[in-house]
Structure 1
Amino acid sequence: MAEPKQGVHVNSDIDLHCHSTASDGHFPAAELIDRAAERGIRTLAITDHDTVDGFRQGREAAAAKGVRLISGIELSTVWGGVSVHMVGLNFDPDSDAMRGAEQHQNQVRAERGKLIAERVSKRLRHDIPFADIVDLAGGRAEQVGRPHFARYMVERQLVPSMAVAFSKYLGAGKVGDVKTGWPTLVEAARWVRAGGGIPVLAHAHMYKMTRTKLRACISDFREAGGIGLEVAYGQMDNGQRNQMADLCREFHLYGSCGSDYHGPNRYGLELGVMPAFPADVRPVWSLWRPQA
């Protein structure tokens, strides 16, 4: 991804997309909350991949720091043969629907991790023990993701960088891009709605789709109960933000925002850093709090 242009990004006091060590983030949830408070973030959603554990682990710290913590998750899904991510916000984490979603995703993620290890090992002609990858994921097979494989490959000097690991072995269309078992985007949106939450299509500007195909994807998402679209996202430029804002208005969706912060990175982006939220888009947070 191209490095963001200077002057495009702002510090937002609302961040509805970030990650903790409950998935592939750098900081435990409590430290993420501390960082949010230090940076003036008043509303935060920890949206770990396919688990609500980050939210659960951060509730006590959020209450102590005066940060409003919104329940969140980032669900891995498939639409039209393309891997698509969907953020769920402000749902009941103890609902049958969301407990079932976590259980399903955890099982799929563990099985998928073993398949990625097998396929990448064969392509590299170098054994990648799945147990070593699980160790990098904090001992939790259900939270193994492609970044853990990339980290392993860099640490073992099998590739020079995380970027190369993805461009050659793990990225879209590569041998480690395993989609087996993920729910459809429509199914995932229905899970979140059944849990009383708000389904948000994540970083849609990043999917390698034609405009026609992306519009078809958003249309299906909207018909399945989708409510939001990320219009201010950490590494977006203003052109991408404006494109997402146009789609938001066209499909009568609410806009969401988030840094997608995982921890320190080479772009220097931080928790709460993203393009300014478009003034003419309805914010998703207006659905759970009165307008100021």
Structure 2
Amino acid sequence: MTRAARPLQADFHTHSTASDGTLAPAELIEESARRGLRVVALTDHDTTQGVQQAVNMGRNLGVRVIAGVEFSAAIERGELHLLGYGVDPDNQALAKRLSELRETRRTRAVSISERLAEVGIDLPRDLVERMGESESIGRPHIARELVKLGVVESVSEGFDRYLGRGKPGFVSRALIDPEEVIQLVRGAGGVAVMAHPYSVPNFGELVPKLVDAGLSGIECYYGGYDIDRRLELASLASDLGLLATGGSDYHGPNAREGRDLGAVEVPSDAVEALLHAVGHG
């Protein structure tokens, strides 16, 4: 009697120091291997800079690494995050647009620093320069600086008091249209997936419109969702013929409950479907 193959343990939503994670790409894959993960997608914000380092480490440790990226897109009442899986990091159109988006982040970081200075908080002058042009600076970097300065005790407090919407240091950022994201991802050989849908206003109405634009999947098995929400999303994905993906949204050690690396169990058929869709099947 043949023993059934062990299901592939996968996490399709992770971040590294190339954006706002706290582990370097290679360290992330080392930690993934220690935890028994076999497949990991690196989905940093607005950059694919860490992908090659992660892929190289994955080859050494037997972890399959999917080249990914996470976009923040503008919608009528807020913003939407879209994950691109299986993209070619060397695709010129994708690389050019990501570079432009990273520049908007750098500009915003300078503006945030100026606003915080107005309320008596002086961030290091080289904060933005410390991040290379291929890396993606975000509010979490600034929140961590606030912790280092002793202004707040935690990153979450930094957002609550200074960096969240309506707070002294909040600065909005120009966002990309979701349809453009989908076109970029598909043009780079990948598939586009809606991340953590319950954070999107009226996502149920939005999904069919994005399907018409080429959306390929929904992040159903998300670290912040209970079983009922995951099953509801999986049912929606099935009804629309979409991929049902999943991941922790891991940013580093000391993660919130459900957001630790590999904490989300993604069904084997969902793992295999995504791998097939991005040419890893």
2:190 corresponds, among 174, 194, 197, to 197
Following superposition, the deviation at residue 72 of structure 1 comes to: 0.7
Seq. identity, %: 34
TM-score (norm: length of structure 1):
0.83
* C-alpha deviation, 1:19, in angstroms: 1.0
Provide the rounded CA distance (Å) in 1 between the counterparts of 2:120 and 2:236: 44
Which residue type is aligned with residue 238 of structure 1? I
Partner of 2:204: 215
2:112 and 2:239 map into 1 onto residues whose CA distance is 38
Paired amino acid for 1:229: I
Counterparts of 2:135 and 2:270, CA distance in 1: 40
- 1:129 maps to amino acid: L
Residue 175 to residue 250, structure 1, CA distance change in 2 (3 Å): farther
Instruction: Between 261-270 and 146-155, report the one with greater CA deviation.
Output: 261-270
1:96-111 alignment runs, 5 A limit: 96-111=92-107
Q: Which residue of 2 aligns with 1:239?
A: 228
SS of alignment partner, residue 109 of structure 2:
helix
Structure 1 match to 2:248:
259
For residues 77 and 173 of structure 1, what CA distance do their matches in structure 2 show?
20
The count of aligned residue pairs is 274
- How high is the TM-score relative to the length of structure 2? 0.86
- RMSD value over aligned CA atoms? 2.7
Give 1:251 shift: 3.2
Structure 2 unmatched ranges of 5 or more: 1-6
User: Counterpart of 2:125 in 1: which secondary structure?
Assistant: helix
Where in structure 1 are there 5+ consecutive unaligned residues?
Answer: 1-10
Query: Do the aligned residues in 2 keep the contact of 1:112 with 1:180 (CA within 8 Å)?
Result: yes
Distance change >3 Å, CA 240–CA 69, structure 1 → 2? same
Q: Does 1:165 align with 2:182?
A: no
Deviation at 1:116, TM superposition (A): 2.3
Q: How does 1:33-52 map to 2 (within 5 A)?
A: 33-52=29-48
C-alpha separation in 2, matches of 1:51 and 1:153: 24
The residue that corresponds to 1:60 in the other structure is: 56
Alignment of 1:227 onto 2:216: yes
Tell me by how many angstroms 1:158 deviates. 2.1
The alignment status of 1:286 with 2:280, answered yes or no, reads: no
Amino acid at match of 1:134: V
Which residue in 2 is equivalent to 1:273?
263
1:37-91 CA-to-partner distances (Å, cap 9, x unmatched) read 2222111111111100111222211111121111111112211141221111001
Give the whole-Å Cα distance in 1 for the aligned partners of 2:205 and 2:117.
36
Change (3 A) 1:266 1:29: closer
Contact kept? 1:90, 1:198, Cα under 8 Å: yes
| CA displacement at 1:168 relative to structure 2 | 3.1
Contact 2:88–2:190, Cα closer than 8 Å, also in 1: yes
Instruction: Quickly say closer, same or farther: Cα 1:73–1:290, change in 2 above 3 A.
Output: closer
> Partner letter of residue 256 of structure 1?
T
Return the alpha-carbon distance in structure 2 between the equivalents of residues 94 and 54 of structure 1: 13
Q: Distance in 2 between matches of 1:78 and 1:203?
A: 15
CA contact (8 A) 1:73 1:89 kept: yes
Q: Deviations over 1:208-248 (max 9, x none)?
A: x2xxx222322332222111110111222112212322332
Structure 1 counterpart of 2:195, one-letter code: A
